[in-house]
Amino acid sequence: MDEMVAVLDFGSQYAQLIARRIRELGVYCEILGHNISKDELYKMAPAAVVLSGGPASVLEQGHPVMDPRILDIGVPIFGICYGMQLLAVMLGGEVEKGRSGEYGPAGIDVINSKGIFHKLGDSLDVWMSHGDHVKVMPEGFHASASTYNCPAAAMEDNVRKIYGVQFHPEVVHTPKGKEILSNFLFHIAGCGHDWTMDRFIETSVAHLRKSIGNSNVICALSGGVDSSVVAALINRAVGSQMKAIFVDNGLLRNNEVDEIESIFTNDYPLDVHIVDAKEEFLSALAGVVDPERKRKIIGETFIRVFREEALKIKGARFLAQGTLYPDIIESRSAHGGPSSTIKSHHNVGGLPEYLGFELLEPLKELFKDEVRIIGRELGLPKKLLERKPFPGPGLAVRIIGDVTEGNLEVLRNADLIVKEEIRKYGKYDDIWQSFAVLLPVKSVGVMGDERTYANVIALRIVTSLDGMTADWVKLPYEILGKMSSRIINEVKGVNRVVYDISSKPPSTIEWE
């Protein structure tokens, strides 16, 4: 078992980022709830413990705490922001509300460059986001960095190997943040660099071979990155015992089914069963306009179609799914706190038990960027690994109102133009998603001497890091103009194009 660093999550929006940074440095890392007991943590034998930031204040009643015995766990501890303040009060120091909170960029002066600031110079730019700060450091600690407002911007006890920073080394706005984490992991905690994706592939393939034996595995291939990497990884382990099922629900974009078929026939041959279920989906959706009902119908139809196909495959014992680490963390935190369903996402949850299969989730320890690296190392084509997220219910949630063959045709043609123009613009990689939405309104226009009365297309083009928040892209007017005139001229049934300039929140990325 590889060395592991534990990140205790105190509710920070950055906890996942801390874990990703640590893994990027080549050390395996897991996010754990802040209330884990010392005994449980000890069993996991972490090489170091990191306490995340969080929105609470240690000066308020009921703030999140941790098992105090973890302070004596015997491995280095690093508290970030709230994590540092918690360390301070738990160890007998004092925290006070700052006269003015520090938010945003700040400069710190390094006082001791032997610990986490090893070889990083006398002053550093960092990113602050806090209201409180440590007023009196616990016994045994000294300040290793300070700012004008905050004499203990970082503190350390080199004997017990406990460190704290008031700022966020995990965000890109702290330019030397990775070096600070690196000092903690390698210089202080003595970790090795043994978390690499080729090692992951090697151990995962060995493990899969052992658990699969001579059985067959089936997998729902969507053409997205996660399911493709799952299929490729299992194929690497057991060859053609891996049977992929691709359901053509008729709600995909222009030419998409052919592209996927061609990839898995020519570029990366896999045993894929393509099921043409267009009619089944479209007739189930006829007349349905409510978005959640659309999702429900699509989910149920998918299960029915998939089941029929899966039962045709002899000797299948396992069903593989592309669950990722963030899904696991999110479902865990959803159990621990109030969560509201904003949109019920269509996936194949519950499917394995229903079909009597055993579940295989070979990517469940990985972040998305790691999955892409694995895909690359397995030799999946770039065009597949570059694919942007596309919702399971497909174009059905981009047609506001009734989903018909005619509406799908209009939307597909408009969407293709958006894609082509974004490609030409050259910023495809920086854009999270760009697509067209067909609105159920008709407006008056004039083409030649004719009055028209036709549909409206909305353009949705956003940047985002993880889909949780998003901003609309400030595209140059010429690009917007080109898209608009091409759509109106080339797509029959559209005479008006509008640009969606809403961010998420409060809007969502998809319109339904």
d(CA 464, CA 332): 23
Q: How many CB atoms lie within 10 A of CB 400?
A: 18
Q: Which is nearer to ligand XMP, 125 or 510 (CB)?
A: 510
Burial class (CB in 10 A: 0-12, 13-18, 19+), 302: buried
Min separation Cβ 298 and ligand XMP, Å: 8
> Is residue 397 within 8 Å of residue 295, measured between CB atoms?
yes
Which listed residue (307, 345, 382, 492) binds ligand XMP by CB under 6 A? Answer: 345
Q: What is the DSSP letter of 70?
A: G
Phi, psi for residue 391 in degrees, rounded to 5: -65, 145
State yes or no: residue 256 binds ligand XMP (CB under 6 A).
no
State yes or no: residue 332 binds ligand XMP (CB under 6 A).
no
State yes or no: residue 76 binds ligand XMP (CB under 6 A).
no
Q: Which is nearer to ligand XMP, 342 or 446 (CB)?
A: 342
Beta strands 450-463 and 433-447 are antiparallel
Contacts with ligand XMP: how many residues (CB under 6 A)? 14
- Binding residues for ligand XMP restricted to 476-505, rule: CB under 6 A: 504
Which listed residue (142, 160, 187, 343) binds ligand XMP by CB under 6 A? Answer: 343
Min separation Cβ 117 and ligand XMP, Å: 39
d(CA 177, CA 403): 49
Lay out the site mask for ligand XMP across 181-220 (x = CB under 6 A, - = otherwise).
----------------------------------------
Among residues 428, 412, 324, the alpha carbon closest in space to that of 372 is found at 324
Q: Which is nearer to ligand XMP, 224 or 445 (CB)?
A: 224
Q: Which region among 189-197, 207-215, 339-347, 439-447 touches ligand XMP (by CB under 6 A)? A: 339-347
Clarify whether 133 is annotated catalytic: no
Q: Which is nearer to ligand XMP, 167 or 390 (CB)?
A: 390
Which listed residue (391, 416, 417, 487) binds ligand XMP by CB under 6 A? Answer: 391
- Binding residues for ligand XMP restricted to 283-312, rule: CB under 6 A: 295
Beta strands 450-463 and 471-472 are antiparallel
- In 330-432 the beta strands, taken as DSSP E runs, fall at 358-360
Among residues 45, 95, 40, the alpha carbon closest in space to that of 69 is found at 40
Q: Which is nearer to ligand XMP, 389 or 406 (CB)?
A: 389
Q: Which of the residues 3, 29, 34, 81 is marked catalytic? A: 81
State yes or no: residue 398 binds ligand XMP (CB under 6 A).
no
The letter for the amino acid at 418 is V
The residues, ordered by sequence, that sit 6+ positions from 356 with a Cβ below 8 Å of its Cβ are none
Q: Is residue 129 classed as helix, strand or coil in its secondary structure?
A: strand
State yes or no: residue 393 binds ligand XMP (CB under 6 A).
yes
Q: What is the number of alpha carbons within 13 Å of residue 271 lying toward its C-beta?
A: 14
Which listed residue (346, 398, 460, 496) binds ligand XMP by CB under 6 A? Answer: 346
Clarify whether 207 is annotated catalytic: no
Which listed residue (433, 455, 484, 495) binds ligand XMP by CB under 6 A? Answer: 433
d(CA 87, CA 301): 52
State yes or no: residue 392 binds ligand XMP (CB under 6 A).
yes
Q: Which is nearer to ligand XMP, 27 or 324 (CB)?
A: 324
Q: In what helix (H) or strand (E) does residue 317 lie, and over which residues does it extend?
A: strand 316-320
Q: Which of the residues 34, 130, 133, 168 is marked catalytic? A: 168
Min separation Cβ 429 and ligand XMP, Å: 16
- Listed as own residue / partner, the contacts of 39-44 with beta carbons closer than 8 Å and 24 or more positions apart are 41/6, 41/67, 41/70, 41/73, 42/73, 44/4, 44/6
In sequence order, what are the beta bridge partners of 217? 242, 318
Q: Please give the C-alpha separations between residue 460 and each of 338, 394, 452, 506, in angstroms, as whole numbers.
A: 30, 15, 24, 15
Q: Which is nearer to ligand XMP, 195 or 281 (CB)?
A: 281
Min separation Cβ 361 and ligand XMP, Å: 17
Residue owning tokens 């890091």: 465
Q: Which region among 148-156, 190-198, 302-310, 390-398 touches ligand XMP (by CB under 6 A)? A: 390-398
Which listed residue (190, 315, 356, 389) binds ligand XMP by CB under 6 A? Answer: 389
d(CA 206, CA 203): 5
State yes or no: residue 467 binds ligand XMP (CB under 6 A).
yes
Min separation Cβ 141 and ligand XMP, Å: 43
The residues, ordered by sequence, that sit 6+ positions from 508 with a Cβ below 8 Å of its Cβ are 342, 343
Kindly tell me the sign of the dihedral angle through the C-alpha atoms of 429, 272, 304, 217.
negative
Summarize the chain as % helix, strand, coil (round to 5): 35, 25, 35
Min separation Cβ 251 and ligand XMP, Å: 11
Q: Which of the residues 102, 156, 170, 370 is marked catalytic? A: 170
Clarify whether 170 is annotated catalytic: yes
Min separation Cβ 288 and ligand XMP, Å: 14
Min separation Cβ 471 and ligand XMP, Å: 12
**Interface positions with ligand XMP (CB under 6 A):** 295, 343, 345-346, 389, 391-393, 433, 467, 504, 508-510
Indicate which residues carry an active-site annotation. 81, 168, 170
